Structures are given as structure tokens and as C-alpha cells.
Amino acid sequence: MSSGDDVLTIRDLDLKFITRGATTVALDHISLSVGKREILGLVGATGSGKSLTLLSIMGMPPHSARITGGSIRYGDRELIGLDDATYRRLRGGEISIVVQNAKAALNPLAQLGDQIMAVYREKIDLDAAALRHRMRDVLSNVGFRDADRVLSAYPHQISGGMAQRILIAIALGPAPRLVLFDEPTSGLDTTVGFKVMTTIRQSIGEVNASAIVVTHDLGVVARFCDRVVVMAAGRVVDAAPVREFFSASANPHRRSLIDAHAWAAALAEGPTGDGDGG
């Protein structure tokens, strides 16, 4: 379902890989929508097309991939066919992405404060003093208690969970309308992953953003998302509000997913612990 209030609407999106004369369908008539201040969980097996969907929204599909049909509308603006200059203004400002493997996404040779500020200077129309104040506020919102220590640190000096929160701070600083998270808890233990997802939920609420969270983890969906879309083999095979999804045991596809992730209920209760610090 979609409405005029949706932040993002994808309709019948087709994407193909074209290599050496061979064509492989990667996304097959994908349709989904994200409402205002909604968190959509996008789940499915590896290779189902979840990350490709995010890259298509960002206008950054792999080199050999071609969008061959459909529509991606951000508000009332069609993104497919948008010129590069306009897309660059949208990326990191109105639409942000937080990628997998946060440490690998950070520059190992630059202090974290410099990396955050580089994005803020490009995307936020404030003077230097106001940008520094904004940076400290955002770091506090994502759970860092000692901003000075974090800003002067290098990526190798922080944990994986802290690196993930740095990427969240970079993404949320410009107050985007839509944030895309690609496996935000991948590689993190349960306690740290829970803290990261709690940070995401609280932080996007602070800026009134919407989000898509790509995950293999139905526990993350149960605890933090409003709706869920299930993908398989490049197609959307199921979609429902989260409460309906987990209560509809008569649906065989949902039942098989839930049974395969029986521990989701335990995570939904919320682990305890100090997590990764910061």
C-alpha cells in the first residue's frame, strides 16, 4: 500500500545485470513504499536483492547493472533518470545510507571528527562553530558520552559498534528525510546490535526521518520495525505490518521464516549489558 504521504514509493522496479552478452534478472518488478516516520524492515536470504534495492534508491547500482523498468519516487520526485548533479545533492543530505562493515567505510588515516565534519560542511548550511555544535549534539544523540575522545580518535581505536554509531552520526547530521541501513547489526554481538538498533530508532525519531533497515535478523524486525517486506530471488514475496506478520502463523511463508528464526522472540525482549561503550 502507498499514499500521497509516502516518503518513498517503488513501483515495478526491474534491474538486470548485463555482462558479455548475458542478461540476469536481479530485481523483478519490485514494489514497496515507506511512510513518514516509518521504519521498514527489508528481509530475505543472501542474494534476494535487498542491498541492490538500496543501491538503486541511491542511484548507485553496480557497474554492470541496468534499471530497465519501473519507478522510484522520492516524495513527488522521480529518481530514475535524475541527472547526476541533482542526485549528488540528494545523497547524504535528504537521503542517507549506512553501509555494512562500518570500519571499512571509514578512512583509516583520518580522525573521526574530521571525517564527520567533511560531510557536514558539504551538506549542512551552517558556519564552522554551528557545525561543531551540531556534531557534538548528534554524537550525544547516538550515545557517545565523551565527544572529545571520539572526535580525536582514529577508526582502529574504536569498536565495531562505535564505528557503526559514527556512520549513523554522519548520516543523521544533515537531518535527512530517508535513511537506508544495510545490515546495521552485521558482525556485532547481540548486546551491541541491540544498542545500535536502539540508537537508530531513537535518532531517526529525533530528525523525523523514515528508514529502511535491511537485515537477516527477524529479531531486529520484531523489536524495531513498523512494517516488513520479504524478498526472495529478486522479488517481493510478502509484506505486512510487523504485528500482523508475526501473528499470522497460518501463512506458510511467514511461518517458515519465523520458525527459522525462533530466537527472534528472545531478542525482542531486549538483552542487557553495557555494550560497546563510548
pLDDT of residue 262: 56
Number of separate helices (H) and strands (E) present in the chain: 12, 10
pLDDT of residue 3: 55
pLDDT of residue 145: 85
Domains of the chain: 8-269 (3.40.50.300)
Q: How far apart are CA 92 and CA 94, in angstroms?
A: 6
| pLDDT tens sequence across 5-29 | 899 999 999 999 988 878 999 999 9
Exposed/middle/buried for residue 250 (C-beta within 10 Å: 0-12, 13-18, 19+): exposed
In tens digits, the chain (278 residues) has pLDDT values of: 445 589 999 999 999 998 887 899 999 999 999 999 999 999 988 889 999 999 999 999 998 999 999 999 999 999 999 999 999 999 989 999 998 888 889 999 999 999 999 999 999 999 999 999 999 999 988 888 888 899 999 999 999 889 999 999 999 999 999 999 999 888 788 888 888 899 889 888 888 999 999 998 888 999 999 999 999 999 999 999 999 988 866 677 777 777 766 544 444 444 434 456 56
Single-letter code of the amino acid located at 67: I
Beta carbons of 100 and 50 less than 8 angstroms apart: no
Start-to-end CA span in the chain (Å):
40
Distances from the Cα of 88 to the Cα of 59, 93, 95, 244, angstroms = 9, 9, 10, 38
pLDDT of residue 5: 80
| Residue keyed to cell 541501513 | 181
pLDDT of residue 250: 62
Record the pTM.
Answer: 0.87
